[in-house]
Amino acid sequence: MHHKRRLWALLFALMLVLAACGGGEVDTGDDDGGDDDAGQASGPIDVAAVWTGGEQENFEAVLDAFTEETGVETTYRPTGDDVGAFLGTQIEGGSPPDVAMLPQAGLLRDLAGEGSLTPAGEDVQAAMAEHFSPDWTELGSVDGELYGVYFKAANKSTWWYNTAVFEQAGVEPPTTWDEMLEAAGTVNASGTPFVSIGGGDGWTLTDWFENIYIQTAGPEMYDQLATHEIPWTDESVIEALEVFAQLVGDEANIAGGTAGALQTDFPTSVQQVFANPPEAATVYEGDFVAGVITGETNAAEGDYDFFNFPQVGDAGAAVVGGGDVAVALSDEPGAQELLAFLATPEAAEVWASAGGFTSPNQSLDTSVYPDDLTRRSAEAVAGADTFRFDLSDLQPAQFGGTVGKGLFLRFQDFLQNPDDPQAAAQALERDAKRAF
Amino acid sequence: MASTAADVRPGVGPRAKMEIQRPPGAAKRWLALLFLLPALFLLGAIVVYPTIDTIAQSFQHDTSRAWVGLANYERAAQADTIITALKNNAVWVLSAPAIITSLGLMFAILTERVKYSTAIKIIVFMPMAISFLATGVIWRLMYEPSPSQGLINAAIAKVVDVTGGAGAYPTATVLPDGAATQEPSGAVTLNEPIQAGETALLGLTAIGETDVPEDAVQASQPEVSGNSLGIVVWRDFKPGGGEPGVVEEGELGLPGAQVEVLDSSGAVVASGTTEADGSVVLDDLEGGPFTPRVAAATFSQGFTGIRWLAADLVTPAIIAAFCWMWGGFALVVIGAGLAALPRDVLEAARVDGANEWQTFRYVTLPLLGPVLGVVFVTMVINVLKIFDIIFMAPGASQDEANVIAVEMVRTAFTSRQYGVGSVIAVLIFALVIPIMFLNIRRFRRQET
């Protein structure tokens, strides 16, 4: 009897081992979906994005406009903060959403490389050619093949300030880096630290670095750094870090000092500028700061404004931005229809008129933006001499997008020790080597 | 067990009645297997299969699942975030179970025969009712650095500030290249000594408009003569900066600042406090030259709060929150163990003349040994898998607070490196297995 029990146990275990070793293929959904262009409404589609709350309502309004026009039903699913993790598990499980909005271009590249994305069809390509500049089409493509439509853009070169504090200090918004350092000294002397840095959230520090780097090193080197053609120990990186140290090396400039900045997350850093009394005069981040100001502080219109990130060198105005790209993860024809719709100015108008949204769509009439500030920042994105995508979003997730690792971690370490750019650069290069 | 079909004939022999009740041996085994099958299936699908799959994946490429041998293990060995995580886990394992067991023992002994012991046990046990994440949120709020927000720092501030709180102008400083310099102690000293009959201008900056006291008026220079020295302490700022070092129209004096005058040997020969216009005249000064300064006490920041969640303190801070949560568990289990102690042994010890401490050390503690062992081993297993509570650390401290389970999730799901993530999972598995063996062996021993 003992033999029989052991035999059963052995068979059971063997069965499981065979199942484990055999079942490891990544299932990318059905590969034989045919095109349904017979004019009838395609099946319902699942759309996933990171937006919740007010942004979710606005995006669902866009989806409703889509359903009205094409008759395709949509369901919206929020992904939670970690889009990569959410999609990864869904894809492994064989049931990914039909369309997903990716906030990081690196994620687009990773997923396209894995074969989890369906390339954009002809309708989508035509729409992109008609309404977007070639830069955006390029951003949505991997190895020459178009996968995604950039629906929402963010201007990450806007520096927001509390107008009352600037008035009291008698300071005008600076246009160059040296002017900014001078203004910082004056504002500090007036009793309010100049800038609030959300160092607790590492991604804010990467945005600082990118804006400085694109101005000191230029767009070509920026592209080379993004693809790791030049190492992070390059002279240009050290130079940019030294410029950054000019601001953060003097703790008087930062609200709470370096230690305070490292414990402050992004929303708190914005709240500090508009607290009563203000704990800082300015905060730098993207145009989505406006959303945080109106949603989470008591600042009224006119209390806040922004100036463009000050010029460091003589290279001319450069804008670093980000965006959310819509990609198709299944072969549902409805997914392609949604991508084509999102490329049209009508789709952009639905959200743009509601506020808190910038579209890279060149055919969009900028008068639909509800206020001047959004319009200015949108026009800066659309009309920049040099526009580049947020570098940290272009990196593989383990280097550019994970809390406590890679770029996030090393820039936080640099904020702690701004006197040692060499060490920071070397640590960055070590992490980058492992990722690429 | 070796009954055969021949034994089951009804009505045969003196044991016939019993044998009718017993089903045949083979059928009994099949029946048992049938009942067990659903549980076995679930166990296989949810526990055994994923374990084997993960072990297999640790030898495969991240996405393509091609076999790569030990490459993932090499990558994991080189990743310094994994090494930090392992170090932190070691700290956790060495401290948390011991602290919790001791806390539980202490509480159990103290509340053993107290009147409201049940109420106390309920209060100490309550934190167990909430999730790790809720604990994290509560303690994050308690650890806020500012004494006006964080409970712990507020409590410390109450104690520390009794000896002297914040000065009148804690944020103030001076402009560089000015007439005065701020020393490391905070005191603002005039660079060039002056003689009696002169006035020193000590302008301060970085004071907000709202931080100037309400009774302050336009700064002005006092009249001085003979043996007196005049000092003006004022807010040296106008919109746009103004001219530093000059008392200008619109710049307010700073009352309440403590000033001192030092002679050439560095001894304090006079002191005073500024008036509403920021000026003060100090009389009866003999000799010279003198160096006036604003005393360091004026710039004292008081207690600004300890940053509990900064990189160096974050792991102990989180361990404290964890112990708060699980102390109740230890208390309840050890309390039950204490209640089950045979009373006559304790009586005998007391009759023999042992005092409380000796009774505790030589009788109670050894008898409680198994119970303490249970609590300790349970906590070690829990701590090896610690995960949710780590997220209460702010982003900048996440690297120092990192533990192996969080590292696994970040590597596998956020960074999409499934191979290395599986290696970490295998590592956790390997760490927990010996402890589980110990546990099972102890259960078996207890059963016999």
Portion 211-270 of A in contact with B at CB < 8 A: 252, 259-260, 262-263, 265
Report the b/e string of B243-259 with b at 16+ CB within 10 A: ebbebbeebbbbbbbbb
pLDDT in tens, chain A (436 residues): 566 777 777 777 767 666 665 544 443 433 333 344 444 567 889 999 988 877 888 899 999 999 999 999 999 999 887 788 888 888 888 889 999 999 888 888 888 988 889 999 999 999 998 888 887 888 888 888 999 999 998 899 999 999 999 998 999 999 999 999 999 999 998 889 999 999 988 889 999 999 999 999 988 899 999 989 999 999 999 999 999 999 999 989 999 889 889 988 888 899 999 998 899 999 998 888 887 888 788 888 889 999 989 988 776 678 898 889 999 999 889 999 999 999 999 999 998 888 778 888 888 888 888 888 888 888 888 777 778 888 988 888 788 878 888 899 899 999 999 999 999 999 999 989 888 8
First to last CA, chain B: 22
Instruction: Mark residue B130 as left, alpha or beta (left: phi above 0; alpha: psi -120 to 50; beta: remaining).
Output: beta
Bridge partners for A323 per DSSP: A153
pLDDT at A37: 43
Nearest residue on chain A to B25, alpha-carbon basis: A1
- Are the C-beta atoms of residues B428 and B70 closer than 8 Å to each other? no
pLDDT of residue A224: 92
A26 touches chain B (CB under 8 A): yes
Q: Do B399 and A82 touch (CB under 8 A)?
A: no
- B81: phi > 0 → left, psi -120 to 50 → alpha, else beta; which? alpha
β-bridge pairing A74-78 and A141-142: unpaired
Q: Report the residue of B52, B248, B414 to disrupt the A interface, i.e. the one with the largest count of A CBs within 10 Å.
A: B414
Task: Please give the single-letter amino acid code of residue A41.
Answer: A
Give the C-alpha separation, B159 to A129, whole Å. 69
Q: Please give the C-alpha separations between residue B190 and each of A185, B185, B293, in angstroms, as whole numbers.
A: 21, 14, 6
Side-chain-side CA neighbours of residue B388 (13 Å): 12
CB contact under 8 A, B208 and A19: no
Domain B51-141+309-447: top CATH class: mainly alpha
C-alpha distances out from residue B277 to A31, A255, A423, A424, Å: 83, 29, 50, 49
Pairwise CB contact (< 8 Å): A20 & B53? yes
Q: Which of A423, A67, A38 is nearest to A241 (CA)?
A: A423
Would an 8 Å CB–CB cutoff place A329 in contact with chain B? no
Q: pLDDT at position A295, please?
A: 77
Within 8 A of A84 by CB-CB distance, chain B residues are: 413-414, 416
Q: How many CB pairs under 8 A join A and B?
A: 140
**pLDDT for A219:** 87
Asked if B65 lies within 8 A of A200 by C-beta distance, the reply is no
* Closest Cβ–Cβ partner in B33, B307, B410 for A402: B410
Cβ contacts of A260 on chain B, cutoff 8 Å = 145
Provide the residue type at B183 as one letter.
E
Task: Return per-residue pLDDT of chain B as tens, 448 residues.
Answer: 444 444 455 555 555 555 555 556 778 888 999 999 999 999 999 999 999 999 999 999 887 788 888 989 998 888 888 999 999 999 999 999 999 999 999 999 888 878 888 898 899 999 999 988 899 899 999 998 888 888 999 998 888 877 667 788 888 888 888 888 888 888 888 888 888 888 888 888 888 888 888 888 888 888 888 888 888 988 888 888 788 888 888 888 889 888 988 888 888 888 889 888 888 888 888 877 888 888 888 888 878 888 898 888 999 999 999 999 999 999 999 999 988 888 888 888 888 888 888 888 888 889 999 899 989 999 998 998 899 899 888 888 888 899 999 999 888 888 778 899 999 999 999 988 898 888 888 888 877 6
Q: Could you tell me the two tokens for A428? A: 């960055």
Compute the CA torsion angle A309, A310, A314, A316 (nearest 10 deg): 40
| Contact call for residues A378 and A312 (beta carbons, < 8 A) | no
What residues are paired with A162 via a beta bridge? A304
Cβ atoms B121, B335 nearer than 8 A: yes
Query: How does pLDDT run across A146-173, given as a tens digit for each residue?
Result: 999 999 988 999 999 999 999 989 999 9
How far is it, in rounded angstroms, from Cα A258 to Cα A319? 27
The answer to whether A278 and A216 are in contact (CB under 8 A) is no
What number is the ipTM of this complex?
A: 0.74
The answer to whether B254 and B204 have CB atoms below 8 angstroms apart is yes
Whether the CB-CB separation of B376 and B97 falls below 8 Å is answered with yes
Q: What element of type H or E holds B308? A: none
Determine, for residues B49 and A20 on separate chains, whether the beta-carbon distance falls below 8 Å. Answer: yes
Q: Is A80 exposed, middle or buried (0-12, 13-18, 19+ CB in 10 A)?
A: exposed
CATH of domain B180-299: 2.60.40
The answer to whether residues A157 and A380 touch, using CB atoms and an 8 Å cutoff, is yes
CA-based radius of gyration for chain B: 37
The pTM assigned to this predicted structure is 0.77
Whole-Å CA distances, A152 to A45, A103, A301, A322, B368: 20, 9, 24, 8, 64
Do residue B394 and residue A259 have CB atoms under 8 angstroms apart? Answer: no
Q: CA A327, CA A100: separation in Å to the nearest integer?
A: 6
Which of A263, A412, A414 has the highest number of chain B CBs within 10 A, making it the mutation to test binding with B?
Answer: A263
Q: Are strands A74-78 and A45-49 parallel, antiparallel or unpaired?
A: parallel
Cα B324 off chain centre by: 11
Decide if B206 and A26 are in contact by the 8 Å CB cutoff: no
CA B184 to each of CA A270, B203, B207, B214, B272: distance values in angstroms, whole numbers, following the listed order: 31, 18, 18, 29, 22
Separation between Cα atoms, residue A245 and residue A415, nearest integer Å: 8
Helix (H), strand (E) at residue A430: helix A421-435
Which of A402, A414, A431, A436 would you mutate first to test chain B, the one with the most B CBs within 10 A? A402
DSSP B46-85: IIIHHHHHHHHHTTB-TTT--B-TTHHHHHHHH-HHHHHH
Q: Cβ(A407)–Cβ(A395) under 8 Å?
A: yes
The partner residue sitting opposite B208, judged by closest CB among A167, A192, A252, is A192
The residues with which A142 forms a beta bridge, in sequence order, are: A145
Domain boundaries, chain B: 51-141+309-447, 180-299
Cross-chain Cβ contact B209/A168 below 8 Å: yes
User: Closest Cα of chain B to A341: distance in Å?
Assistant: 30
CB neighbour list of residue B182: distance below 8 Å, 6 or more residues apart: B173, B174, B188, B189, B299
**Residues of chain B with C-beta less than 8 angstroms from the C-beta of A254:** none
Interface probe for B, chosen from A405, A411, A434 (most Cβ of B below 10 Å), is A405
- Answer yes or no: do A12 and B44 touch at CB < 8 A: yes
B56 CB neighbours in chain A (<8 A) are 20-21, 24
Q: Which of residues 114-153 of A touch B (CB under 8 A)?
A: 114
> Are the Cβ atoms of A26 and B75 closer than 8 angstroms?
no
Beta bridge partners of B270: B261
Contact A17 B52 (CB under 8 A): yes
How many Å lie between the alpha carbon of B228 and the closest alpha carbon of chain A?
Answer: 31
Residue A16 has its nearest CB partner, among B52, B145, B397, at B52
Q: How far is B396 from chain A (nearest CA, A)?
A: 5
A16–B1 CB contact, under 8 Å: no
Look at residue A9 and give its three-state secondary structure.
Answer: helix
Closest chain A residue by Cα to residue B169: A191
Residue B44 Cα, gap to closest chain A Cα (Å)? 7
Q: CB atoms < 10 A from the CB of A181, how many?
A: 16
Distance CA B411, CA B263 (A): 65
Predicted local confidence at residue A18, as pLDDT:
65
The partner residue sitting opposite B414, judged by closest CB among A85, A200, A201, is A85
